[in-house]
Amino acid sequence: AAAPPREKTRQERTARRHQGAKGMEIAIIGAGACGLAFAEVFRRRGVGTVRVLEAHCAVGGTWSLSRPDSALYEGLRTNLPKELMAFSTRQFDTSRPSFVRSADVESYLLNFAESNGLMPVINLSSPVTHVRPAPLDERKWAVSWTHDGKSTTEEFDAVVVANGHFNKPLVPGNLENQLPRWNGTWMHSKAYRRPVPFAGQTVLVVGAKSSGADIARELDGVAAEVHVADTDCPLDPSYP
């Protein structure tokens, strides 16, 4: 009797998938950490032709302080050590502390893109406006973007959406409708940059997660009073 067919190894199955993907054209939306990681892996493994579309004029995504809609404040440090945040193929500058500043992360991502030869495939200042099934072949995607006032549409075999989810401020419940009725000054944490403008003021920070705790700590000693409101604030909070 004939021997049963040999089951392919994981490496053989992966190689076969890569072989089938070599001719693909892939669009990646966003040149932040996620988009750059996808681009580097696709290029290193020879998976098709890659084009990265980035709305901003520089790589870095949410870590780019120069973005007009940046959510970063000047004193921001990472809440994870750089040893955990680094890509497997490139480490952070070992001279930097474990919890680095946002500028260190932005520099790291730029160096990652440059050292891996990704810059030539990144279209900067190219916000994507539409992604829809291609009109003549629904197995493909028609991706439209603008650059210098000119609109371009090209078809791709696959699209990676890596534009992040920290761009639009979230104001809970009906607070957004009630706040304009108040005569005081209010802002979302996305608009916060530094503690100096709050000198001598009484400040209420709504929310005590990463950003709220960071901002409250920065305001302490600058504002006259700092109050923190959160659904699960500890009775005796302590900040490092």
- What the block records as the tokens of 146 is 């603008």
Strands 225-229 and 141-147: unpaired
d(CA 85, CA 79): 10
Higher-scoring residue by pLDDT: 113, 229 = 113
Any long-range contacts for 188-192 (C-beta under 8 Å, 24+ apart)? 189/71, 189/73, 189/215, 190/69, 190/71, 192/73
Whose CA is closest to 162, among 59, 17, 24?
Answer: 59
The residue assigned the tokens 């890569």 is 18
- What the block records as the tokens of 87 is 């890509």
Higher-scoring residue by pLDDT: 14, 37 = 37
Q: Considering only 86-95, 162-171, 188-197, 205-214, which range has the smallest mean pLDDT?
A: 162-171
- For 148-174, write each residue's pLDDT tens digit: 999 999 999 999 999 987 778 888 777
- Return the percentage of the chain with pLDDT > 70, whole number: 88
Rounded to two decimals, what is the model's pTM? 0.81
Is residue 237 over pLDDT 80? no
Is residue 2 over pLDDT 60? no
Give the chain's largest Cα–Cα span.
89
d(CA 112, CA 85): 13
Residues 6+ apart with CB under 8 A from 37: 87
- For 59-88, write each residue's pLDDT tens digit: 999 998 888 888 889 889 998 999 999 999
